[in-house]
Amino acid sequence: MSRSALGSILLALVLSSASTARAESPRERLEILLSNHERVPGREMLLSVSPDAERLLQEIVLKPSARMLARNRAIAVLRAFPGAATARLLREVIHTSARGQGGLARLDLQQALSSYAVVAGPGSLEVIKPFLAHPSQDVRYAAVSAVGLVQSPRALTLLEARRRAEPSAMVRHRLERELGRRRHAR
């Protein structure tokens, strides 16, 4: 069975069993898919729900419903729709989540950092850089991972500088993995 056929079957099962109420709008169907899927769905599956998936994902991020996991996963899958509007939205999520309190804001921030790195490439580094020194080791870990997604000499410089200053063993381990991956890629 082909991967897309299997994806369509899985999508049908998720949408039919996810809620007793029928999802009427494409946005509701996307939210159910994002909330109930064991892994984050890819671009192809999202577009099979709605050809307007990018706009709907942006709407889910801007105007979240009660399905908070859907918002966080929408932030993650927006990287599959690179463009100026997505980059602006992710930058806004980073700044808003950085000011927010609580676990959900921090999770959104972590997800937005890596999505923004993918969408904005080397241009993302100035936005991500302050989070390398964030008080939360989880946010620093996410920032290191995000910088690791950017292939540029500046990214390498940021990782090397952070390695010398990082107090957390967990984050230092991630730094070593990113730096090691770059050494092996040369």
What's the pLDDT score for residue 41?
Answer: 87
What's the pLDDT score for residue 22?
Answer: 59
pLDDT in tens, 12-22: 444 444 443 45
Buried-exposed string 56-86: b where 16+ CB fall within 10 A, e elsewhere: bbbebbeebeebeebbbbbbbbbbbbeeeeb
Distance CA 45, CA 171 (A): 33
Cα 85 from chain centre: 15
Of 97, 92, 90, 138, give the one whose Cα is nearest residue 114: 90
Rounded mean pLDDT for each run of 10 residues along the chain, 186 residues in total: 50 44 80 80 92 95 84 94 96 92 88 97 97 95 97 94 94 95 75
What's the pLDDT score for residue 112?
Answer: 97
What's the pLDDT score for residue 81?
Answer: 96
Q: Which two tokens stand for residue 72?
A: 């966080």
Residue pointed to by tokens 């500046």? 154
pLDDT in tens, 35-52: 875 777 889 999 999 999
CB atoms within 10 A of CB 1: 6
CB atoms within 10 A of CB 127: 19
What does pTM read for this prediction?
0.84
